[in-house]
Structure 1
Amino acid sequence: MTAADALCGGRVVAIHEGGYSEAYVPFCGHRVVEGLAGIDTDLVDPFLPKFIEQQPDAAQINWQCAMIDTMAETLGL
Structure 2
Amino acid sequence: MADITQMTDAQKLKLEVYRLVMNDSAATEKAIEFIAGNELNFELFKDAYAKTANETTALAKTEKAIREAKEVLDLFA
TM-score normalised according to structure 1 size: 0.27
TM-score normalised according to structure 2 size: 0.27
Q: Which has the higher helix share?
A: 2
